[in-house]
Structure 1
Amino acid sequence: MTPTTGRRPLIGVSTYLEAGTRWGVWELPAALLPAGYPRLVQRAGGIAAMLPPDDPAHAAATVARLDGVVIAGGPDVDPSRYGAERDPRTGPPAEARDAWELALIEAALASGTPLLGICRGMQLLNVALGGTLVQHIDGHARTPGTFGHHTVKPVPGTRYEEAVPEETSVPTYHHQAVDRLGRGLLASAYATDGTVEAVELEDPGAGWVLGVQWHPEMGEDTRVMEALLLSARPAPLSPSGV
């Protein structure tokens, strides 16, 4: 767990941007984040901050104020981002979110800020580094709104294995996956069918960067998030305690 002394790491989590969302008497555009994400950050010992889509030019300044970044799950990455034609089963593009999250990833990589990609976040990390995606795989997509479970096996000697050293059943919901790995990435966990389930930087000195294909925010295991928080180095508390 993250040490209880000192400042709790501030972790920014990217969000959805939905055009028409209803609550109470209101139906307005809304920046949304399933509650599992901030709860996972909080249970692991951090403070969660929402990062709704913004001007990509602001990404570096945003990341500079954070101790870590999480790119959350969500819609399919636009295939044009990795030079592919759209498969009929690929969802509609989320252009503003793609642009913002790619800028966050690039800023985190450039600054050495710890970075965790979850599901879409892992796929976008791979795309940011020049990799490609499989636009549809059978057997992984579930009934809409229902998470499945399958086993993930770590690759020995990886950062992921250091955090989760045993085979683990994980909550999952996706129909796309990593195809060609991006520059400097290695696969650090696999499903039993060979699907890449985690990726990380090959160079351990390049900073803490991990992507997982499943949804840790939907389970009880906080170890992946704890590893992110432990890699973050927030400034020490001032004498006044802030």
Structure 2
Amino acid sequence: MRETKVSGTDRPLIGISTYLESKARWRVWELDAALLPAGYPRLVQAAGGSAAMLPPDDPSYAAEVVARVDGVVIAGGPDVEPVRYGAEPEEHTGPPARERDAWELALIEAALASGTPLLGICRGMQLLNVALGGTLTQHMEGHVEAIGVFGTHEVKPVPDTLYASIVPEASTDVPTYHHQAVARLGRDLVVSAHADDGTVEAVELPGSAWALGVQWHPEMGEDLRVMRALVRAAGAA
């Protein structure tokens, strides 16, 4: 991942949501912890921004928190609780992360309401869809090759979308690890990339300041373009 050199005053502050895990272990410690894989802040930093972790908090504080950052990233993580989109959990759906669901949905609402640039990654894209009234497919057989191992596959940008303006190639390979996907699209969202099998791989919200969701994990690859576009939008805002 190539570093982008910018002065301190030029670096937009990007808030990234985090995991909240019970009994995380490091060295001699085993404690509850707010966690974030290092790939996320490293990607923000390489793209020209500064990173701040936004662990789950009282959702009523989300607007105040969003007002203090220049852009928001909703990170990947556990499955969205199906009750959020009016469904019952299926066999392969993971346990709920209710505190995180509530906090991140509030962050999304606050970012959209304030025009703060917003990027959803994997779970983050799915939550953006749910926040706008969409639904999810709870399990797609064969989309995770091995537990804990990222794969790659091809996605194709939809012409004349924000994503296509960022990644103009007809197709590109992306790092991926997911078993859920967008089913019914949320209101006003448009699909801006898809896989060969038709899976929705990116969504965006036209008319907003800047709101994009990607199904894959850019923090696990070398391509800075999506994060760099967020950082630039955050700097402009």
Confirm or deny a common fold (TM above 0.5).
yes
Q: Which runs of 5+ in 2 are unaligned?
A: none
Q: Does 1:222 align with 2:224?
A: yes
Structure 1 residues 113 and 230, CA gap change in structure 2 (3 angstroms)? same
Give the Cα separation in 2 of the matches to 1:202 and 1:24.
46
Instruction: Output one character per residue of 1:9-49: Cα deviation in whole Å (capped at 9) or x when no partner.
Output: 00000000001011121111000000000000000010000
CA positional deviation for 1:88: 1.1
Q: Does 1:177 align with 2:181?
A: yes
The answer (yes or no) to whether the contact 1:8–1:234 under 8 Å persists in 2 is no
Q: Secondary structure at the match of 1:39?
A: helix
CA positional deviation for 1:142: 2.3
Instruction: Output one character per residue of 1:104-155: Cα deviation in whole Å (capped at 9) or x when no partner.
Output: 0000000000000000000000000000000011221121110010000000
Q: Secondary structure at the match of 1:211?
A: strand
Q: Does 1:143 align with 2:146?
A: yes
Aligned length: 233
Aligned residue type for 2:102? A
Q: What is the 5 A alignment of 1:160-171?
A: 160-166=163-169, 167-171=171-175
Give the Cα separation in 2 of the matches to 1:137 and 1:25.
38
Worse-superposed segment, 157-166 or 139-148: 139-148
Question: Percent sequence identity over matched residues?
Answer: 73
Alpha-carbon RMSD across the aligned residues, in angstroms, is 1.4
Q: Which runs of 5+ in 1 are unaligned?
A: 236-242
Q: 2:59 aligns with which of 56, 60, 70?
A: 56
Q: 2:37 aligns with which of 34, 54, 73?
A: 34
Q: Does 1:13 align with 2:46?
A: no
Aligned to 1:191: 195
Q: Secondary structure at the match of 2:124?
A: helix
Q: Secondary structure at the match of 2:219?
A: helix
Q: 1:23 aligns with which of 22, 26, 30?
A: 26
Aligned to 1:208: 210
CA positional deviation for 1:2: 7.7
Structure 1 residues 153 and 8, CA gap change in structure 2 (3 angstroms)? same
Aligned residue type for 1:194? G
TM-score for the superposition, normalised by structure 1? 0.93
Q: Does 1:118 align with 2:121?
A: yes
TM-score for the superposition, normalised by structure 2? 0.95
